[in-house]
Amino acid sequence: MTGSAKKAFALRLDPALFAAVERMAAADLRSANAEIEVLLREALARRGVPVKPPAPPRRGRPPKTDAQD
């Protein structure tokens, strides 16, 4: 995959449910998408389903190589 390594798909939600997710996301300074991910991970953990934690984003400049001189 190019860019994001995340799976994109359409999700249909009841408007009241999505509004509640948006409120929680705003309180946690997250996007609605990130909040849904957190909620899903928490629900899976409660059911004993192991999910690997996400890889932290790479920050900073890429390492310098000989070709960049």
On the question of pLDDT at 31 being above 50, the answer is yes
**Is residue 64 in some structural domain?**
no
- 7 within some domain: no
Mean pLDDT on 13-29: 97
Provide the pLDDT for residue 18: 97
Mean pLDDT for 3-17 is 87
Please give the tally of structural domains in the chain. Answer: 1
- Would you say residue 69 has pLDDT above 60? no
Convert 10-47 to b/e letters by CB count within 10 Å (16 or more is b): eeeeeeeeeeebeeebeeeeeebeebbeeeeeeeeeee
Residue 4 lies in a domain: no
Question: Does residue 8 sit within a domain?
Answer: no
Let me know if residue 20 belongs to a domain.
yes
List the domain range (segments joined by +) for residue 32.
Answer: 13-49
Question: Domain for residue 60, yes or no?
Answer: no
pLDDT at 68: 55
- Summarised one tens digit per residue, pLDDT across range 39-65 is 999 999 999 999 888 888 788 888 888
In a domain, 41, yes or no: yes
